[in-house]
Amino acid sequence: MRVSAQGGRSIGALKAFFEALPGRTGQIYVIAPSMTIEVDDLDAAPERVRAAGIAVEYGPAQEPWGVRRFYVRDPLGKLVNVLAHC
């Protein structure tokens, strides 16, 4: 999904952040998960995923809005959000 760098304050902040990175200018590309799976034990889930030979793309991370999560990719390359509410 491509988000225009024009618009509200949050988009402006993202644009400033990405333009501060070396080699990053112009459009901002937002990567959003295609699906979310909620699990009971987020501590065990990434271990099981890695044991199955699947790479963890992000996390596990505690997010400020009250979830712990990590990302993996499905066989077609789509991003999957695995989370637990804290």
Residues constituting the chain: 86
Q: Which range among 19-23, 36-40, 59-63, 72-76 shows the weakest confidence by mean pLDDT? A: 19-23
Which pair of structure tokens corresponds to residue 34?
A: 């295609």
Residue 84 has pLDDT above 90, yes or no: yes
CATH of the domain at 84: 3.10.180.10
The answer to whether the beta carbons of residues 41 and 86 sit under 8 Å apart is no
Q: Domain residues for 82?
A: 33-86
Residues 5-25: tens digit of each pLDDT: 444 445 555 555 555 555 555
pTM to 2 decimal places: 0.64
Shared domain for 53 and 75, answered yes or no, is yes
Which pair of structure tokens corresponds to residue 16?
A: 């400033």
Say how far apart CA 69 and CA 84 lie, in whole Å: 6
Question: Quick one: which of 39, 43, 18, 13 has its CA closest to 28?
Answer: 18
Residue 38 vs residue 3, higher pLDDT = 38
Single-letter residue type at 73: R
- Please compute the mean of the pLDDT values over residues 17-34 and round it to a whole number: 62
Query: Considering its fold, how many domains does the chain have in total?
Result: 2
Shared domain for 25 and 8, answered yes or no, is yes
Shared domain for 6 and 48, answered yes or no, is no
